Structure 1
Amino acid sequence: MASQYPELKMITLDDGFALSFQERLILRHTRHAPCLWMGTGTADIEMFRGNFSIKDRLDEKIALTDVNVMQQPSGWTLHFSRGDTAHAILDISRDDNGCLSLKLHNEHPGHNRIWLRLAAMPADHIYGCGEQFSYFDLRGKPFPLWTSEQGVGRNKSSYVTWLADCKENAGGDYYWTFFPQPTFVSSQKYYCHVENSGYMNFDFSDADFHELAFWEDNATLRIECAATYISLLEKLTARLGRQPELPDWVYDGVTLGVQGGTDVCQHKLDTLRQGGVKVNGLWAQDWSGIRMTSFGKRVMWNWEWNSELYPQLDERIAQWKQEGVQFLSYINPYLASDKALCEEAARRGYLTKDAQGKDYHVEFGEFYAGVIDLTNPEAYDWYKALIKKNLIDLGCSGWMADFGEYLPTDTFLHNGVSAEIMHNAWPALWAKCNYQALEETGKLGEALFFMRAGYTGSQKYSLMMWAGDQNVDWSLDDGLASVIPAALSLAMSGHGLHHSDIGGYTTLFEMKRSKELLLRWCDFSAFTPMMRTHEGNRPGDNWQFDSDAETIAHFARMTTVFTTLKPYIKQAVAQNAQRGLPVMRPLFLHYENDAHTYDLKYQYLFGRDLLVAPVYEQGRSDWTLYLPQDAWINAWTGESHSGGENVTVAAPLGQPPVFYRANSEWQPLFASLRQIAVQ
C-alpha cells in the first residue's frame, strides 16, 4: 500500500504488515510475532522520602494477533484485535513537518496497559531516556521511566547501595534518575518521543525489537529521521524547546557554595579572591535558615530571608554585585509544615489534598512539608509571586530550584488529573513556574536557576540542569564518573546545559570527600558550562575549597582555565540555544563514521573543538583515552596526535586529559592554556 508521502510505506504481509519510514523499518507485525499487546494491571506505588517502590499487579496481557489495515488520506488506521477480548486502534500519519505520528488507543474499557514493539536491528545503539547515570548506550537493558531520588550508590552489587537499602530503601538501581524522559535516539538516525507522562518502561533488551510499555490506555509517539545526528538533534530540540543563553556572569569564575551566614560568606569570598580564585557568585542555600537532622544540615523550607543568620544581606548583595559577585539562593516547591508560609498556603487552599480532602503533607526526613498544587492557577501564581518578591526583589541573581520528583501518587490535584499521570510531568511544571518568574520580571538572561528534576518540557523552561546528589566518592554509578553519561544522555534527550556539585554531595556511611576527589572534580568542572561547589550534607566530614592553601591555588588555576575559555564556551552555549547542539557532546555527534565512538561514555566533546576525558579513578597520574581520526593537540604539552587510536597521557592534578583540534579557529585561545598549566 502506498501513501501520499513516498517516504512512508506500508507493505501488506500474508498475516500482518511492515511499516517503514524514510527507509527505517518502524513496525512489523505477524500473527506469530505481534507488535501490540493490551492488558490490565493495578499499580502498587509506595514512596518514602522520594524513593519509590513500584510494582504492577498484572491481571492479563493479551497479544493482539489480528489486524485490519485501512488506508486514510494521510496514512492508515489499523484495527488490532484478539477475538472479542481485546481491541485497539493505531492511527499512522505524517504531518507537514515530516514527523511520523503513531496514535494508539485501547478500545477495551477494562484495559489500562499497552505494550508496543518497535522494530530494531541487532547492531543498533540507543541513547537518551533523559538523564542516565550508569549507562550511555542503553542497548541491552530495560529502563523504567519515573522521576525519583537518584538513589545512594545506585548499584545493587555495591556495599553502599546495600546499606542505603537496609536503612531507607534508598540505594536505588542503575535506572533511578531525577530526570527520566520517554525519548530515545537510535543509531539508525531517528528519534522516538512519547508524549505521555504516566509510568513507562522502555526495554531495549531484545535484538529485534524495542518494547515500550505504557501504564495508560493510550499513547502518542512522534518519530523523525535525519541524515546526521546534528540535524536530528536540531529537529528534536525544535519540537521540545531549547534553553536560552546563560547570563554572562556565569563564565566569570566559580560559584561558591557557602553556608553559615553573611560574615562566613564574606570571609570565604575574601580568602578565595586573595588566593587568586575567580569567583562569580556566592550560593547560600541556607539563606532561609537551617534545620539540623540525622542526615545532616538541611535548609529551612520557609522561603524568606532569615535576617538572623544573614544580617544586612540585602545591603551585602548590592555590594557584592558591584564587585562582580552574584548572590544565589535556594527554593523548592514544598513548604515546611511548621512554618508561616505553609500555614498561609493552607489557609488559601493551595496545597494538594489527601483522599479525605485534607491538606497532604509529605515526610522529608524528620520534618513534614505541604505540596504546593501547581495545577491550581491561583496557587501557581501565588508561588510565582513569592519567587519574585522573596528572591528576585531581594537581589538574587539565581537559585537552586530543587526537588520536583516527590509528588505522591495518592494525592489529589486541582486539575482533576491522576497524580500517577502528573508525577513525571511535575518537574517541568515546577521549571515553568521559575522560568515565568524570571520572564515576567525581565530577568531572563540576567538571573539563573538550576534544577535536578526534569521531564519533557524541561528543555524549554529549565535554564540549567545539575546532576543532583552524587556520593563524595569514586564509584562509577554514583560518583564523579556518573556525571559524564548523565550529561551525554541529557544531551541526546534535548537538554544541552549540565553541571554538577564539585566534589559531590551525599556524605553517608562513613564516606568522606577527599582532597584528591575535590581537585579532580574541579578539573572536570572547568570543562562544563558552569563551575559550582557544594559543601555536602555533612560539611565537617568533607574536604572543602578552602581547606588548605594548595586547594585554593588549584581552584585559582582551574577557574583561570574556565574564564580563559569564556568566549569559546559562550559560543557553544549559543549553539545550544540556536540549534539545540549540546555543550557537552558525545563524540559520535561529529565523528559518526568512527564505530569506536559509539561505546564511549566517560569522555566527551566540549563544544566542537575540545575533547575532554576526566580522570575518575583515585591515585592515577596518567590516563588512557580514545582520540578519533583528526589532528589533535594536547592542551597542556602541545604534543600532536593524528587520532584513530587509544593514547595514554600524563594526567597530574590540574591537567585533566584535554585535546583540541589543530585546525580549530580557537587554536590560539586553546594554546594559551599551556601558560596557565605552568603557573
Structure 2
Amino acid sequence: MKVIALADGFEIQAAGRTVLRHSSAHPCLFIGRGEADVQMQRGNFAISDYVSERIPLRSATLSQDDGDVQVRFAVSEGAPTELLMAVREEGHLTFQAASDSINRLWLRVAATKDEHVWGGGEQMSYFDMRGRHFPLWTSEPGVGRDKSTQLTWMADQAGAGGDYFHTNYPQPTFLSSRRYALHVETTAYSAFDFRHADFHEIEVWAVPDAIELFACDTFIDLVGVLSDRFGRQPPLPDWVLNGAIVGLKQGSESFDRLQAFVASGAAISGLWCEDWVGLRITSFGKRLFWDWKWNAERYPGLDQKITELAGQGIRFLGYVNPYLCVDGSLFPVAEQAGYLAKRQDSDATYLVDFGEFDCGVVDFTNPDAAHWFADTIIGGEMLDFGLSGWMADFGEYLPTDVRLANGVDGMLMHNAWPTIWAKVNADAVASRGKTGEALFFMRAGYTGVQRYCPLLWAGDQSVDFTRHDGIGTVVCAALSSGLLGNAYHHSDIGGYTSLFGNVRTAELLMRWSEMAAFTAVMRSHEGNRPDQNLQLDQDPEVLAHFARMTRIYRHLAPYIRFLATEASGAGLPLQRPLFLHHEDDARTYAEQTQYLFGRDLLVAPVLEAGVSSRTVYLPSGADWTHVWSGDSFAGGQDIEISAPFGQPPVFYRPGGDHDSLFQSLRTL
C-alpha cells in the first residue's frame, strides 16, 4: 500500500494500481444517515432507504501514526473531523466515525472505462458486473428475475418475483481486470455500483469494520489469496466421485425407483431423499415436514435400508434447515430450553410464515442452542442414524426485526446468518470425526461460508432454458462464486421451480445432465411439483442418456481428484472462467456461457432449447481438441460445433497429463 500526498488531496495505490483518488472537487468519501424499511415475505425482501443526509467529505488531512497513514476527513478545511481512516500496510482501510449516528458510508474507488469486474458472491445473471448496480443482501432469488417476462410479472403479483441482482449468496467482494480485489468487511446491507466510467461506488449501511485490498500479478494468484483470506473449503468426499446422487422423494417407493437407475447402468454414489422427515402439502407443492428426525411412516425400516444401500456402495442423504415447525416434536423442546429467537416487543417466540405453516428460528447466537442443534439434531438424528450427507437449506430467511441472544440488530445479523448456519453444520460433522467424509450442501452464503461449507448448490432454478432463471444461470453462479474461494459447485439437474404451467421437458433434463457431468458433483432433484414434471426415470431415452452421463462423470474421477488437490493447495475452483488461464485474451473476460473445468478441459454446455450445435470461443494461447471427434482447432477463434444429445461441446488442451483419460471419453 502506498499513499501519495497531492496538492489538493491524495492517492492510494495497491501494488502500483491506483485504487482511491481524492480531491476537494472530487471527494472519494461520503457519510450520511438513513432509515431503512425492510419487508419480508417468505424470504423475499422489499428494501427501501430514506436518506436524510449524504455529506461529501471534501477535506482530507494526512498524518503518520506508527507506520500507518491516518486520513482525517472533514466537510471543509478547518471543520471538525467527521471520519478517521487508517491506511494499514497490509492493505486494510479502517474507519472511525466521530458520531455513532452516522450509519451510511459511500466510497468511490478509482476505475477505468474498459475495466471488467467479477464476484459479488454468487451472481446468477451477469458474470461481468461492469455497468450495473448490485445490492448485496441474502434472500430468495425470486421466481422470475427478468422484469420483461410474464413469469416475473406473475410472480411479482404474489410477492415472489425477483430481479437480476437477487441471490441466495451475496458477498461484498469484487475482482478487477486490473488484477486487484476489494473486500468490504461488514455484514450490513451494502451495494456495489459499477455504472460510472471513472469510479465504482461502494455503499454500506454502517461504518464498515474494514475495506481490504489485494493485488497480484496474475488472476490465479489473486484467486488463491482470496481463498486464503476467506478459508479453504473442506475436502470433497471421495465417495461422491463414484457417480450421481439421485434425488427421489416418494417415501419407501424411492428405493424401488432407485433400482431402475441401477438397472439402466447409471453410476450411483448416493440416494438423496429430502422427504425422509415427512411431507406436508401446500399450494406451492409438496413441502417437507420441518421436524428434523426420521419419519418412520413415510420411510419404514429406513435404518436397515441405509445399511443395505451401503452394501451396494450407495450412500443415503437427507435434508435439514435451521427452523422448527410449530406442529413438530422439536419445537416445544427448543422453546422450553430458550433456544428460539424472540420478538422485539415481548418474550414471545418469533414465528416465521413459510407459506401455510409457521416456524421458530433457532437462535445460533446462543452457544447452547447452536450446540444442541449441531450435536442433538444433526449429530444424533442424522449422522448417528446413518446419513452421509444432506441439503442444509434456508440460511437466508432471518427476519430483520428478530431479537437474538447476542443483542446484535437483525439488520447486521441477516447477512451473517448463512455463515453461522454453515458453521453449525460443520461443527456437527467435525464432532463425529467426519469432516471430508460427510457432505452437506448449501445455497445461502456470505463472507466466510467458504471455510465451513464443502459444496455450494445454485439454488432453485426454473425448469427451463430462460436467460435469467433457467439452466444458464448455473454457469454464471459457479464462475462468480468460484473466484471467491468456493471451489465446489453444482446444481439441481432439471431445475427445481415449476409454477404457472412451467414444466420440464426431456430436452432440458438431457442438456442439464450433460452439463452436470462436467462439474464437481452430479445430483438430480424431482422439483417442487414432481407429479407435474417429467422425471429422469419416466422416459427410457432420458434415463439411458442420464446413465451414460453418470458414467462419464465417474470416468473423470481421477481428473476431479487432481482438481480437488489444486483446490486444497492453491484455492482454485474446479469450474473456472476462461480468463483465469488466458488472461492475455481480452475476449475471455465477459464470457459466461462456457467454462474451464480445471486448466485442461473447456466445457460449453448447450443452454438453449431446440438447437443441435452452438458457437464456442476457443481461447488463444493453446490448441484445442474436440473430445468426441478428435478434431483439432487453433485457439483464438469462434467455431460452430455440432452438439447432438450426449456430445456437449467439450474440448481439451493436448499435451497434458490427462490426455488419455480425455481421449477415452468418446468410447463410453
Instruction: Confirm or deny a common fold (TM above 0.5).
Output: yes
- Aligned pairs for 1:353-502 (under 5 A) are 353-355=342-344, 356-385=346-375, 386-502=377-493
Tell me, in whole angstroms, the C-alpha distance in 1 between the residues paired with 2:72 and 2:522.
54
For 2:341, the equivalent position in structure 1 comes to: 352
**SS across alignment from 2:171:** strand
* Residues 127-147 of structure 1 deviation map (CA, whole Å, 9 limit, x = unaligned): 101000000000111110000
Q: Which amino acid aligns with 2:403?
A: F
Contact map agreement 1:62 1:86 (CA 8 A) in 2: no
Contact map agreement 2:284 2:528 (CA 8 A) in 1: yes
- CA distance in structure 1 between the aligned counterparts of 2:81 and 2:498, rounded to whole angstroms: 51
Following the alignment from structure 2 to structure 1, what is the Cα–Cα distance between the partners of residues 566 and 362?
A: 36
Distance 2:627 2:148 in 1: 38
Aligned to 1:54: 47
Contact 1:105 1:218 (8 Å CA) reproduced: no
Question: Conserved in 2, the CA contact under 8 Å of 1:487 and 1:584?
Answer: yes
The match for 2:162 is: 172
1:635-654 aligned at under 5 Å gives the runs 635-654=627-646
Quote the residue 2:264 is aligned against: 275
* Counterpart residue number, 1:3: none
Q: Secondary structure at the match of 1:335?
A: strand
Specify the alignment match of 1:26 in structure 2: 19
- Paired with 2:80 and 2:443, the residues of 1 have a C-alpha distance of 43
Deviation at 1:224, TM superposition (A): 1.1
* Number of the residue aligned with 1:600: 591
Distance 1:51 1:506 in 2: 15
Q: In structure 2, do the counterparts of structure 1 residues 86 and 48 end up closer, same or farther at CA, with 3 Å as the change threshold? A: farther
Q: For 1:335 and 1:662, locate their aligned partners in 2 and report how far apart those are by CA, in whole Å.
A: 53
Structure 2 match to 1:216: 206
Q: Are residues 1:668 and 2:631 paired?
A: no
State how far apart, in whole Å, the 2-side matches of 1:232 and 1:273 are. 43
Q: For 2:101 and 2:459, how far apart are their aligned partners in 1?
A: 39
Of 523, 528, 544, the residue aligned with 1:553 is 544
Distance 2:100 2:567 in 1: 44
Q: Confirm or deny that 1:305 pairs with 2:288.
A: no
Paired AA for residue 382 in structure 2: L
How far apart are the structure 2 equivalents of 1:459 and 1:259?
29
Tell me, in whole angstroms, the C-alpha distance in 2 between the residues paired with 1:205 and 1:559: 43
Letter matched to residue 333 of structure 1: P
Task: Note if contact 1:38-1:106 (Cα within 8 Å) is conserved in structure 2.
Answer: no
Provide the rounded CA distance (Å) in 1 between the counterparts of 2:570 and 2:654: 25
Q: Distance in 1 between matches of 2:571 and 2:455?
A: 14
Deviation at 1:358, TM superposition (A): 1.1
Check the 8 A contact 2:184/2:208 in 1, yes or no. Answer: no
- The separation in 2 between residues aligned to 1:656 and 1:608, in whole angstroms, is 18
- What letter corresponds to residue 93 of structure 1 in structure 2? R
Q: One-letter code of the match for 2:442? A: M
Residue 338 of structure 1 aligns to which amino acid in structure 2? Answer: D
- Give, in whole Å, the separation in 2 of the partners of 1:515 and 1:85: 68
- Larger displacement relative to structure 2 (59-68 or 75-84): 75-84
Whether the 8 Å contact between 1:106 and 1:218 is mirrored in structure 2 is no
Match of 1:153 in 2: 144
Distance 1:50 1:59 in 2: 28
- Shift of residue 75 of structure 1? 2.6
Structure 2 unaligned regions, length at least 5: none
Opposite residue 404 of structure 1, the aligned amino acid is G
SS of 2:276's partner is: coil
Count of matched residue pairs: 663
Secondary structure of the structure 1 residue equivalent to 2:61: strand
Per-residue deviation, residues 140-170 of structure 1 (Å, max 9, x unmatched): 1111000000111111111101100012x21
CA contact (8 A) 1:234 1:579 kept: yes
Q: Which sits farther off after the overlay, 559-568 or 77-86? A: 77-86
Distance 1:559 1:265 in 2: 19
Question: Equivalents in 2 of 1:15, 1:443: separation in Å?
Answer: 58
Give me the whole-angstrom Cα distance separating, in 2, the residues matched to 1:86 and 1:282.
Answer: 61
11, 16, 20: which is aligned to 2:9? 16
Q: Secondary structure at the match of 1:533?
A: coil
Q: Deviations over 1:526-564 (max 9, x none)?
A: 000000000001001111110121111101110111011
Question: Secondary structure in 1 aligned to 2:645?
Answer: coil
How far did residue 219 of structure 1 move?
3.7
Local SS of the residue matching 2:105: strand
Amino acid at match of 1:139: R
Please report how far the alpha carbon of residue 522 of structure 1 lies from its aligned counterpart in structure 2 after TM superposition: 0.4
For the residue of structure 2 that corresponds to 1:453, the secondary structure is coil
Distance 1:302 1:19 in 2: 53
Tell me if the contact between 1:86 and 1:108 (Cα under 8 Å) persists in the aligned partners.
Answer: no
The ranges of structure 1 where at least 4 consecutive aligned residues each deviate by more than 6 angstroms after the TM superposition are none
Question: 2: CA distance between counterparts of 1:508 and 1:212?
Answer: 36
- Residue number in structure 2 paired with 1:67: 60
Counterpart code for 1:187: S
Distance 1:28 1:594 in 2: 29
Distance 1:73 1:375 in 2: 36
Q: Aligned-pair RMSD on alpha carbons?
A: 1.0
Q: Secondary structure at the match of 1:599?
A: coil
Question: What is residue 534 of structure 2 aligned with on the other side?
Answer: 543
CA contact (8 A) 2:234 2:453 kept: no
1:314-333 matches, cutoff 5 A:
314-333=303-322
Amino acid at match of 2:220: I
